[in-house]
Each structure stands twice: as C-alpha cells, then as structure tokens.
Amino acid sequence: MTALFDLPLQRIDVGDGMHIAARVAGEGPPLLLLHGHPQTHVIWHRIWPALTQRYTCVAADLRGYGDSDKPAAAPDHAAHSKRVMAQDMVNLMGKLGHDRFDVLAHDRGARVAHRLGLDHAERVGRMMLLDIAPTLDMYQGTTRAFAQAYYHWFWLIQPAPMPETMIGHDPVFYVRAVMGGRPGGLAIFDARALAEYERCAALPGLPVGICEDYRASATLDLEHDREDRAAGRKLACPTRVLWGARGAVGRNFDVLGLWRAVADDVDGQALDAAHYLAEEVPDPVTANALAFFG
C-alpha cells in the first residue's frame, strides 16, 4: 500500500481557472476527504491505508490552502465562501467521474462539507464531520472560554493586511504555534506531516487564503446559514459527528444537540482527543468511518 505522502499530487482544473490539489487512491465507492486549518490533505495519512482498502479516496486541499490555487481577496470575501469552496469539491469529484460520493471532513473542511450537503444534497450519500459544531451556533454561542480557546476565529477576521502580514512574517512559527498550542502539543504529529504543513504555510497566498476563509465564515457564510434556517432547510444525508472530549468544541458546545437541530439523521460521540482526531486517535476514527460508510 502506497503511503499518502508518496502518491502523485494532481492539480485538477475545477473551472473558472481554479485548480484543486488532490491525491487519489483505492478501490470502491468514492470518498472525499477534506482537511482543516492550518493543515492540508496530509492529515489523513494515518487512516489512509485502511480507507483505501475499501473506498476510492480523494484527499483534496481546499482553495487557499496547501497546493491548491489561492485566489485574491474580495471585498465581500465571496471567493472564499463555503458555498464556493463546496462547488470546487463538487466540480473536482465530477472531473474524477464521481457524481455521488460520501464525505469525511475535519475542521474548516467540515464547514465546507456542511455547505456541500445543503447546496448539493443529491451529490452526497453520507457525511462524517470531525470536531465542529455548526458555524452559526458557535458564533452565536461564543463565551469568554470559547473566545480564549478559539482566539484565531476573531483575530483572523480583522481587516487586511494586519493578520496576513503577521502570518507571512514567520509562517512556520504560525503553524507550530496554532497546532502546538492545543492539548498534546506538536508531539502528536508525524514529522513528515508537520514538515508538509510548514512547507505549504510558506507558499505565496497562504495568509490571504486563511484570513479570507475565516472572514467569509464570519460574514457571508452566516448569511447563507440564516437563509437555510429561515427556509427550514436541513442536512438530509445520514450524518455522523465526532469530537474531542478534551477539545474546545466539546467543552463549550452541545455538539450532538446542535447538529440534531440542523440535520435530519445524525448521530455521534466524543473521542478521547483534543482536536486533530485523525492524527491523535486514528483507530477509533477509522473504525467509525468503516462502520458508518459501510
């Protein structure tokens, strides 16, 4: 079995001049895997061998991250809305021949997956989301404890170029500070994976991609979420949510309760981890994925 790191990296044209970087392997039903901040698709390397024995796995970098294209900022942040990011992934999977697929996603990628499931319900079979509550509920339910733990939610949305400049001054420090600042520190990460996160953090356009992603989540994405709730639109696909029992999301929010309010068919559980579930506790994540996706 070829390690995720060693597979060829494809850059696939998904339309409008946008290229999404992805690695593809395995046989069986298609499974799209999406990463979070400040990482890349490499987060799946510890569960990749088991998943590719059963599924055709597509591990992609979100626009603005990794080796995917990094569009310029827009005044309304629309180029980095979750609606646009979700369309990237629908187009990506279509280019690879998959009109319908399952989704496994973490953190920022899980927010893209949530929007994908709402906007393109006919394309998604099942969805498993790692360590998030719905974005709108997290902003509306912000407490001092949450704001202190997730300070980056509020710092990254400050007007340009302040956060971009600070990230760009020392992107490796930024990655290490953000990821190492959670329970478990940097010791939980494979050295090869960490080196890849650091390499990609130093790529031109990365600071803009990160900040615009978060600015969109605090503005345009919330408008889209409110519109869905006003119209009574919910996730229709079977959904499983996993979260870290020692992480900020699990400590500050009723994760399962909040998802049950916006999804028709959802279950889930806490795992003995903080935030980076696929790297901290790969065995239970793998077991859940194999049981849930079938």
Q: How far is CA 266 from CA 108, 113, 127, 241, 263, in A?
A: 19, 14, 9, 7, 6
The residue among 124, 149, 127, 128 whose CA lies nearest residue 138 is 149
Q: What is the 3-state secondary structure (H, E, C) of 125-149?
A: EEEEEECCCCHHHHHHCCCHHHHHH
- Give strand pairing partners of 103: 32, 127
**Which tokens go with 80?**
């980095």
Residues with a catalytic annotation lie at 107, 275
Three-state DSSP state, 30? strand
Dihedral in degrees, nearest 10, Cα atoms 135, 136, 140, 142: 0
Three-state DSSP state, 157? coil
